Structure 1
Amino acid sequence: MARDEQRPDKAMVDRSEGFGERLLGVLLDRAHEMPPALIAPLVAEEVARVGGRDVSILLQDYGQRMLVPLPGRRLTVGEPEPIGDSPAGTAFLQTTAVEVPQADGVRLYLPLLDGSDQVGVMALTLDTVDDDDRRLLRRLAGLVADTIVTKHSYTDRFFQARRREPMSLAAEIQWSLLPPLAMSVPQVKVAGILEPAYKVAGDSFDYALNDDILHLAMIDAMGHGLDAATMATVAIGAYRHARRAEIGLAEIYAFMDRAIAEQFGPDHFVTAQMMVLDIATGHLQWVNAGHPAPLLIRNHAVVQKLKSPTTLPVGFGGEQPLISEQTLRRGDRVLCFTDGLIEEHDAGEEQFGEEQLMSWVNHIERAEKGVRAVVRALSHALMDQRGGTTSDDATLLMIEWLGGAADHLATLD
């Protein structure tokens, strides 16, 4: 059949604007010029057009413990909602709408998803809810999330709303470096967390999905405070620069090594772990420059440490590193972590250690769904075991390989 015969007759396609298109189109049409402060009243107005009221926008705090209300004209600002035990938290962690019947209607909690990163939750009340409401409000929530992410670079208000305690300058720098804390596509999922959220200094991570290749790095700069944050900034910048030049893992290590040595001298270093995962085949490669061995998790239990030859930390002029390899099975998860997680001591007791970490991983893997929920629950459980404090940064980064394809997302049928 000729291409022209496959195309629908333009005159026969209904291109008139319906109610839903008009409602969502207003936000799309105005978003590029809209000051950040006007997002809230426009969203409240759009919700009112479908019979909704009492609109709240809840954003994840930096510690990933609470969903905190965003102040704004015509928004309902209540108390923060716990992520672990609330309808809003369920919507956030499971990325699904939650409906709670109330005396005056139904309270809806809709995840705010920018791509696959959970920005927060939009809550509103309707007298009744049908499938048309659900579809339209789900799409509206997606547009609201995209608008928040776009506008957050233009204002401090979103950052300020997410803070529940004072943040150090070093932590401010580190948070500005991070990619989204979670990413999810049909073939692979990624989630990370930093502790202590408001005082983290030398730990950081980065990732990028380029076609079928997922690139990841986790680093831990020596020291504490601003010096460590500055070194981490250079290390992540060097990693991104080298990665975007499309060179191999060994060459990326060498480039990062030179950058740290030239900038900070021979007495400074950064431990690092760089990985590449082919999301089509599950073929994983990595270089370990002084980090603890990642854990391979299969069927919700740790099955082995991904041991490998280690090279010197970045900045010490190590030899060309050996590339380690592992073929993943569908559903396998890989957990990377910095040494602050296992070298810290239980409250007043012995060092935490890898065995206790693996025990907690097995316990939480059985109780939680999704890499975002597992990483969050694991980090908080370990922090609680340490009495709520830590003397060093403790960072987790988890990958789940699912395989398959995503081509169906690019078709309209």
Structure 2
Amino acid sequence: MGALDEESVDRSESFGERLLGRLLDRARLMPPQLVAPLVAEEVATIGGRDVSILLQDYAQELLVPLPGRNLRVPQPEPVDGSAAGRAFLRAEVIEVAQADGVRMYLPLLDGSDEVGVMVLTLDTVADDHRRLLRRLAGLVADMLVTKGAYTDQFFLARRREPMSVSAEIQWGLLPPLTMSVRQVEVAGILEPAYRAAGDSFDYALNDNILHIAVIDAMGHDLDAAAMATIAIGAYRHARRVFISLAEKYAFMDDAISRQFGPDHFVTAQLMHLNLATGAMELVNAGHPAPLLIRDGRVVAQLESATTLPVGFGGEIPKVREHLLEPGDRVLCYTDGIIEERLCDGQPFGEERLMRCVDRLGVEPMEGARAYLRRLSHVLRSERGGHTSDDATLFMVQWRGGGPDRLAALD
């Protein structure tokens, strides 16, 4: 029976496998600048033309084209109000009928993090095209991320204005800006994108626990960036060695105080979210309290016991637990949001922030990333477009639901 089964298995190469396999085989030893032209060449084998590869800029305002042979290099497209932007924000394929065919906008997803958009034109589009191109876009995203790890060219394409040294350090420190699995989604925004210094965030999904840290190092420029780097490095080390939030806090506190002395500190929020139950443990070390958003409205500030900022040698903190409901969003933010001075000299304040969240509401099928961008734009407009200090937003949405089917096989 085993021999018959072996003989009955079809191992012939399909058209789609040949296309994707050829791209993989050729890209392996290809320099980064030739990846996008190679994609355009392969797309041409299925009748695609006018191929563009658009990457998100650091301010999350534009989708900017990669240059290269065989590529169409248009002007940057705005994330808001364009077909490319809709594909990017919704993580779905957008098709636009044109006189000479159909213009397709395919999100480039590295896992669940959106890298950019692949754009091409076909004479006609059938389901076979859609299926193959979705898979091709996923492969292209993985290739861009892999090749981008050892070139500056993708970075330079995404950078739309000069970037400070401290901002360079911070962007190199950040994890992907978004992550989404069945039970939870996270998204973060760092402002001002090209002058950030002391703000940062980090997260990791280890088994059933989502680990989260949001920090704000005192000061500006390189001194703040250096503290943030030490704080996040210490947090990651503790996360990979210890278990409790209290131990993470103590480890970070010791690292900052030893390296910078008693006159420097970092405020921090440390969280554990149990994806199975929605239980969220919280240590708040000098940060504004996170907001609990339910059905588009702020229903509570998630308070915790008073804990000194990291670096002051505080006592072991008490951990506060909050229980989330499916669909709840938790918004963390740094004081650069609420301490920004308005035209009349008054601080922006927490009450105004909560009113902005309530006014924003919720749109059907809108993910955390798109929501956070909308909120960021509303807050920036309310502040008169000013961001004089680092201003970070980080959101986690717990969807609830059971674990992935494969988890039961462990």
- TM-score relative to the length of structure 1: 0.96
In structure 2, the residue matched to 1:259 is 255
In structure 1, the residue matched to 2:13 is 17
Structure-to-structure mapping, 1:3-402, within 5 angstroms: 9-367=5-363, 369-402=366-399
Count of residues in Structure 1 that have an aligned counterpart in Structure 2? 407
The aligned amino acid for 1:228 is: A
Moved more, 259-268 or 377-386: 377-386
Distance 1:317 1:410, change over 3 A: closer
In structure 1, C-alpha distance between the alignment counterparts of 2:4 and 2:19, rounded to whole Å: 26
State the 1:404 CA deviation.
2.0
State the 1:359 CA deviation.
1.3
State the 1:410 CA deviation.
8.0
Query: CA offsets per residue over residues 194-253 of structure 1, 9 Å max, x none?
Result: 010100100000000001110000000000011000100000000000001032100100
Gaps of 5+ in 2: none
Q: Is the 8 A contact 1:100 1:107 kept in 2?
A: yes
Moved more, 381-390 or 83-92: 381-390
State the 1:387 CA deviation.
2.4
Query: CA offsets per residue over residues 296-324 of structure 1, 9 Å max, x none?
Result: 01111111110111200000000010101
In structure 2, C-alpha distance between the alignment counterparts of 1:24 and 1:409, rounded to whole Å: 26
Distance 1:375 1:167, change over 3 A: same
The aligned amino acid for 1:140 is: L
Distance 1:166 1:8, change over 3 A: farther
Q: Percent identity?
A: 69
Q: Is the 8 A contact 1:365 1:374 kept in 2?
A: no
The aligned amino acid for 1:36 is: P
Q: Is the 8 A contact 2:276 2:403 kept in 1?
A: no
Distance 1:50 1:8, change over 3 A: farther
- TM-score relative to the length of structure 2: 0.96
In structure 2, C-alpha distance between the alignment counterparts of 1:242 and 1:230, rounded to whole Å: 18
Q: Is the 8 A contact 2:281 2:319 kept in 1?
A: yes
State the 1:384 CA deviation.
2.2
State the 1:145 CA deviation.
0.2
In structure 2, C-alpha distance between the alignment counterparts of 1:410 and 1:237, rounded to whole Å: 30
The aligned amino acid for 1:14 is: D
Query: CA offsets per residue over residues 160-189 of structure 1, 9 Å max, x none?
Result: 010111100000000000000000001100
In structure 2, C-alpha distance between the alignment counterparts of 1:80 and 1:363, rounded to whole Å: 30
The aligned amino acid for 2:13 is: E
Q: Is the 8 A contact 1:201 1:225 kept in 2?
A: yes
Q: Please provide the CA RMSD for this pair.
A: 1.6
User: SS at the partner of 2:201?
Assistant: strand
User: SS at the partner of 2:140?
Assistant: helix
State the 1:328 CA deviation.
0.8
Distance 1:347 1:147, change over 3 A: farther
Gaps of 5+ in 1: none
Q: Is the 8 A contact 1:216 1:274 kept in 2?
A: yes
